[in-house]
Amino acid sequence: MKGIIIKIQTLLLCGVLITGLFSSCASDDNIETGTKVNPGDKVLTLTLNTPKATTTRATNMTANTTEDQINRLTIGIFSSDGNTVRTIQELSSDAAIGTTGTFFTDGTKKETTATLVTNSLADGDMVLVAVNAPTTTFNGCTKASDFEDKTIAIDAALATDDKNNIGTAEAKNNIPMYGSGNIIKPATGSTTYTANVNVNHQLAKITLSDLAVAFDPNGPYKNAIFTPTSFFLINVPEDLKFNSDAWSGSTIIYHGNDDKATTYKEYLGTGSVTVSPLQVAASKTSSVTLNKFFYTMPNSDVANNTKLVICGTFDSDGDGTPDPGNTFDSNGDGTPDTNPVYYPVNINWVYDTATKKSGPADKAVGIIAKQVSPNKNYICNVKIKTKGAASPTATIDPEDVSVTVKVASFDNVSQETVFE
């Protein structure tokens, strides 16, 4: 009889113990229910460490305590060279999903436990873990590279909830994650194999933290009023992979606001928002703290780099009548905007006005400017000193930016952007 017991221990935000049985879907091992271990069977204890959620969500500004929620686990075990599959298992927190196993929560022990029965296991074997991938995503994988080449489309990554339902709103509780590790043989006197896997979010996050106007009191816009009306992303790739890079190289780009219906995705924009008009003159409100953020796909295509666009109306002389504009439909509802202007913020890009040089806001090794990486939170503080562009795809360069970088749940990358 073939047997392996896998224990998966994880610090979830709510703290849970999860147990369950599951069967093989990727090899010819005989899978049995129950936790019985016979002579010759092997035991693997796998510790899965997840990131911690500490932030707020973009479109409703409420605390997101489900950023690290685990609804489904897919565990792939491969030979050390990655060329032979030992087994691939799917576990779900919802038995109705129909996967090969279920896990359950225990808030006291704050751990996740599952049981796998097989004898295909060796020291140094690779362990690949995908979190919250759609069911059957990894069917047919025969080697590790197959697992890491699997992609999920933008709707599955950003708009599929914990019940596998695809909607038009950004999902709060089903963020894809990925991690890898290796099996270590039992210590002397022990019969238990071990492996440690850290999983990270496959998505990136773009946060609009603060928005301010700083019009020159002696310049042409000294009385100007800017009124934000919506925020959205442009140039978001079609799909992502479950590997350390996450970006699939997709060339299909989606917008949160677009006049081309084939590329429009509602969950990439806030729709209409109500924000106080911003004005320097007459001691009016000149800044606002928003803390709005979007989850987004990783993007290494710097020729079509992802941008956060700030849309609004601009009243140059402050007379209460917005300047004449164009007829762009920023929220895709079929009704043209009223005199909009746009401020497209390059993500992970800074410009030094003193040296006239630009570079990435994220100073991690190997990161290039305008590359949007998984598990990063790009925190944008924006200051407006001039009138915006007539199109969300226009360029307002250079941007005067100061940058700090710090590490947290999603690794935070802070950038202050000044439109002059």
Q: What are phi and psi of 375, to 5 degrees?
A: 65, 20
Q: What is the distance between the alpha carbons of residues 44 and 90, in angstroms, rounded to a whole number?
A: 17
Q: How many helices and strands in the chain, by DSSP H and E?
A: 2, 23
E strand or H helix at 193, and its extent? strand 192-198
Yes or no: say if 368 and 405 are a contact pair by the CB < 8 Å rule: no
SS3 413: strand
Q: What does the pLDDT read at residue 193?
A: 76
Q: What is the distance between the alpha carbons of residues 128 and 214, in angstroms, rounded to a whole number?
A: 49
Q: What is the distance between the alpha carbons of residues 224 and 392, in angstroms, rounded to a whole number?
A: 20
Strands (E), 316-398: 340-346, 350-352, 357-359, 376-384
Confidence category of residue 59, pLDDT binned at 50, 70, 90 = very low
Selected residue with higher pLDDT from 327 and 189 = 189
Handedness of CA 50, 56, 58, 59 (dihedral sign): positive
Q: What does the pLDDT read at residue 359?
A: 83
Asked whether the predicted pLDDT for residue 165 surpasses 90, the reply is no
Yes or no: say if 263 and 257 are a contact pair by the CB < 8 Å rule: no
Yes or no: say if 278 and 315 are a contact pair by the CB < 8 Å rule: no
Selected residue with higher pLDDT from 409 and 387 = 387
Q: What is the distance between the alpha carbons of residues 354 and 290, in angstroms, rounded to a whole number?
A: 29
Bridge partners for 347 per DSSP: none
DSSP 145-183: HHHHH-EEEHHHHHSB-TTS-B-SSPPSS---EEEEEE-
Q: What does the pLDDT read at residue 15?
A: 29
Q: Which residue has the tokens 């400017």?
A: 369
Asked whether the predicted pLDDT for residue 94 surpasses 70, the reply is no
Amino acid code (one letter) for 213:
V
User: Which of 242, 313, 307, 299 minimizes the C-alpha distance to 269?
Assistant: 307
The 10s digit of each residue's pLDDT in 196-222 is: 788 889 999 998 988 999 888 899 899
Asked whether the predicted pLDDT for residue 97 surpasses 90, the reply is no
Angle at CA 204, nearest 5°, toward 166 and 98?
Answer: 35
Q: How many residues would you count in the chain?
A: 420
Cis upstream peptide for 398 (omega within 30°): yes
Asked whether the predicted pLDDT for residue 73 surpasses 80, the reply is yes
The 10s digit of each residue's pLDDT in 289-346 is: 998 989 999 999 988 999 999 999 999 888 888 887 655 555 566 665 567 888 999 9
Please report, to the nearest 10 degrees, the dihedral formed by the alpha carbons of residues 317, 321, 323, 328 taken in order. 150
Other C-beta atoms closer than 10 Å to the C-beta of 13 total 18
User: pTM, whole model, 2 decimals?
Assistant: 0.81
Selected residue with higher pLDDT from 404 and 400 = 400
- Residues 367-377 have a mean pLDDT of 91
